[in-house]
Structure formats: structure tokens, C-alpha cells
Amino acid sequence: MSDSRKTQTTSYLAPAQALYQMLMAPIDAELQARKINNLVFITDSGLRSLPLAALHDGKGFLVERFSIGMMPSLSLTDTRLGNVKNSQILAMGASKFTQQEPLPAVPQEINSISNLWKGKTFINESFTLANLKSQRQQQPFGIIHLATHAEFRSGALSNSYIQLSDTQLRLDQIRQLGWSNPPVELLVLSACRTALGDQEAELGFAGLAVKAGVKSAMASLWAVSDQGTLFLMTDFYQQLKTAPMKAEALRRAQLSLLYGQATKDSPQKSSEPGEETIAKSLSHPYYWASFTMVGSPW
């Protein structure tokens, strides 16, 4: 499902249905009897990179029935209810790089978010490690959104990073950012492979962020589409205003892509010529199933 070359195929269906039969079918009747609508998975190694939203029961995807989250462990998760709707956002990103491919949709993504949510935005040259630290110290932003490249590599934590304009934010630096005092309600890593980890760094950047005091982190399992991410992120922040929990806001945004309804400005209404056609082309799980809510789903 992480291969963009297969977005015109349904090659994902056989494994998605087989995994559903193994993981979900045995408890399906009980979930229905209890009227469960949110699932949180605490998975073992080998299962943490599964796009659980895309499991398929033969009729539809799991995300069509449940909002879905993942936890590194229950004891390390801050399950206290907060009110993310009152939080301001610190949104930062980069579209130009010296040694990596450009991300032309990032300025649009940051701009769309700033139109939907109160806070501050910084792009390219102002997206520095010093600025990231100082802005959060000056104001306790409840939401931090980082749109850029990232790379997860096995081995030492310092091998993995999120790309800023002036440096790389390494995995072993996350605890030094002070995101636990006061706790960041939601960290959104709009970057590639930020929810992918190994036994040394469970659930990648998102898992480490949760362990460092962030209540919830939204991150990706593979190299996501720049254009698809723009649509999903814009819709996610629109949904976050009214959804009863963060994981449900993500679910609604994923369904908007799945059903071809997402646009850069509104979950329902297209605003630019050709935008509706683009939205309809993003229904394959490659575009929406990568993003995962790690930590508290509330």
C-alpha cells in the first residue's frame, strides 16, 4: 500500500482482507454488541507498521466503521481529557531543500491551516530549531504542526531525523524540546515515515514524542503524497473543530479522501477548477491510510 505505482490497482485487497480475518473477525461480534466506535491498538513488533485503517472486511475498510489509534503502551499514555479546540497552533514547514526533493504543496498546507486555526506560522528560512524551541517557550501552543521531510533509520536514535531549514531534528533530541511542560495536546508530523519505528524506537518519532510528554501525535507510515497530504491535513483541521476526539477528526478526513470529497478549503465544497477531480483521484489507501494517531485518541 506504500507503493505509489499501484494506486490504480486493488492489489491491497487480498492482504487487507486476510489481516482483517486474523485481527478483527474474532472480536467483530462483540464490538458490534457493545456498540464500540473507537479502537486503540497496542501492538507488538512486526505489527506497528500496519495501516490498520485500511484493513478490509470484504465490504469496506475498518476506518469506515471505527476511529483508530495506536499507543506505545497504556501506562505511558496521557489519557487525561484536554480541550484541543481551545488550543492555538504553531505551524512550521519547509518546501525547499538543498539535498532533498522539494515539497511544493507545503506553503499551501501551512496557509490553509492558518486560515482554519489561530496561531503562528513559519516557512522555509524561519523553520529553524532555535525558532521551534523559542516559539513554544514564549507561548504554550497546544498544537504543533511540522510539514517537511523526515527519515527513520534503524540503529541509534541520532540516525533518524526531521528536516528543518537549518539542521536536522534528531530522534534523540525530542525530549529536550520541553513539550511536556505544559503538555502539547497534539503534534502533527506531516512528513514521511514518522510513525515507523523498530524495537529501539517504538512507533518512530510519534512514539518518542508521546513518551516525551506529547498527549497525541499524528504521523505517517510511509513516504506520503505531497498533494494528498495537503488535502488530508486541511480537512483534518476543519474536522478537528467539531469532532468529539482527535482520532475521529482523522477518521473523517480519511473518509473525505476515500469518498472523493476532500478539498483544500472545505470538506464538502471544491473552490478551484480541477480541484474536485484531484480529490477524487486520492481515494486509494496509499493517500490516506498512512496517517496514524499515536498516543491518546481523545
Full-model pTM: 0.91
Asked if the structure places residue 289 within a domain, the reply is no
Query: Which grid cell is 1?
Result: 500500500
Asked if the structure places residue 114 within a domain, the reply is yes
Please report the pLDDT score of residue 273 as a whole number.
45
Asked if the structure places residue 113 within a domain, the reply is yes
The more confidently predicted of residues 212 and 198 is 212
> Whole domain around residue 165: which residue ranges?
90-219
Give the pLDDT confidence of 99-151 residue by residue, as tens digits: 999 999 999 999 999 999 999 999 999 999 999 999 999 999 999 999 999 88
Give the range among 100-104, 158-162, 223-227, 270-274 with minimum mean pLDDT: 270-274
Specify the CATH number for the domain of residue 141: 3.40.50.1460
**Does the structure show a pLDDT above 70 at 92?**
yes
**Does the structure show a pLDDT above 70 at 79?**
yes
User: Residues of the chain with pLDDT > 70: what percent?
Assistant: 89
Supply φ then ψ for residue 146, to 5 degrees: -120, 115
Please report the pLDDT score of residue 201 as a whole number.
55
Asked if the structure places residue 245 within a domain, the reply is no
User: Residues of the chain with pLDDT > 90: what percent?
Assistant: 63
**Does the structure show a pLDDT above 80 at 52?**
yes
Asked if the structure places residue 275 within a domain, the reply is no
Asked if the structure places residue 144 within a domain, the reply is yes
Distance CA 298, CA 130 (A): 30
| Residues paired with 144 in a beta bridge | 90, 187
| Three-state secondary structure call for residue 9 | coil
- Which of 174, 168, 185 minimizes the C-alpha distance to 240? 185
- CA of 82: how far to CAs of 185, 216, 273, in Å? 7, 11, 39
Asked if the structure places residue 171 within a domain, the reply is yes
**Does the structure show a pLDDT above 80 at 262?**
no
Asked if the structure places residue 42 within a domain, the reply is no
Q: What is the mean pLDDT of residues 253-275?
A: 67
How high does pLDDT run on average in the chain?
A: 88
Query: Which grid cell is 87?
Result: 488550543
**Does the structure show a pLDDT above 60 at 46?**
yes
- Count other Cβ atoms within 10 Å, centred on residue 241: 11
Give the range among 18-22, 107-111, 140-144, 169-173 with minimum mean pLDDT: 169-173
Confidence band, pLDDT 50/70/90 cuts, at residue 210:
confident
Query: What's the structural domain count of the chain?
Result: 1
- Which of 219, 251, 253 minimizes the C-alpha distance to 236? 253
Give the pLDDT confidence of 232-261 residue by residue, as tens digits: 999 999 999 999 999 999 999 999 999 998
Distance CA 201, CA 155 (A): 9
| Residues paired with 228 in a beta bridge | none
**Does the structure show a pLDDT above 60 at 176?**
yes
